Amino acid sequence: MSGDSSPGPPAAADEVLASLSEAVPSAEAGHSVGDHVIRVPAEDLARLAGAARDHGFEMCSDITVVDYLGKRRVRFEVVVNLLSVRHNRRLRILVPVPEGDPEVPSLVPVYPGANFLEREAYDMFGIRFAGHPDLTRILMPDDWMGHPLRRDFEVGAVPVQFKASPRVT
């Protein structure tokens, strides 16, 4: 599942990526199917995002999570897609998050638009975003148990109350 095996780097010399890696030493720049990606540990996510915003990535277009249950050692991966309108380029930040302590810093202070996106990620995967102003469920009902997009949350695992119908025996 490593992206580094994919077709070569999209741009040969990249000052922005180099500069970001310099600002956050733990960040590891790479490529995935022709896109720029940066892998960073959870504790440095907010710092990297702040640096990225200062480098012209003014929009956080998407935040989501992938559940690699049984595929990888670290179960979750938070995926942040940044967009620079000024420089017309994208950047993807990948953050591995362990199952035992699924917590990453919130990006709302850096990108206010991360609000809904992080609420959705929390709702669907149970990833906690530390520092989020209103980390509540957004799509599922408030009293829902579990996080439905996790791989071990089976389709049909929750009994749904339908109108009583005559049982065929």
Going by DSSP bridges, is the β-strand pair 76-84/59-67 parallel, antiparallel, or unpaired? antiparallel
DSSP summary character for residue 133: T
Instruction: State in angstroms the smallest separation of the CB of 128 from other proteins.
Output: 19
Q: How far apart are CA 15 and CA 84, in angstroms?
A: 15
Distance between start and end Cα atoms, the chain:
48
Among 29, 59, 96, 103, binds other proteins (CB under 8 A): 59
Question: Per CB under 8 A, does 29 bind other proteins?
Answer: no
Residues 138-167 touching other proteins, rule: CB under 8 A, are: 138-141, 148-149, 151, 155
Among 14, 35, 44, 103, binds other proteins (CB under 8 A): 35
41/148 with CB nearer other proteins = 148
Question: Per CB under 8 A, does 18 bind other proteins?
Answer: no
Residues 93-132 touching other proteins, rule: CB under 8 A, are: 111-113, 115-117, 120, 124
Q: Which residue type is seen at 26?
A: S
4/164 with CB nearer other proteins = 4
Among 14, 58, 103, 131, binds other proteins (CB under 8 A): 58
Instruction: State in angstroms the smallest separation of the CB of 116 from other proteins.
Output: 5
DSSP summary character for residue 100: S
Q: What sign for the dihedral angle of Cα 54, 58, 60, 61?
A: negative
Question: Per CB under 8 A, does 6 bind other proteins?
Answer: yes
Contact between 132 and 106 under an 8 Å Cβ cutoff? The reply is yes
Burial 16-47 (b: 16+ CB within 10 A, else e): bbeebbebbeebebbbbeeebbbbbebebbbb
**Site residues (vs other proteins, CB under 8 A):** 1, 3, 6-7, 32-35, 58-62, 64, 66-68, 71, 79, 81, 83, 85, 88, 90, 92, 111-113, 115-117, 120, 124, 137-141, 148-149, 151, 155
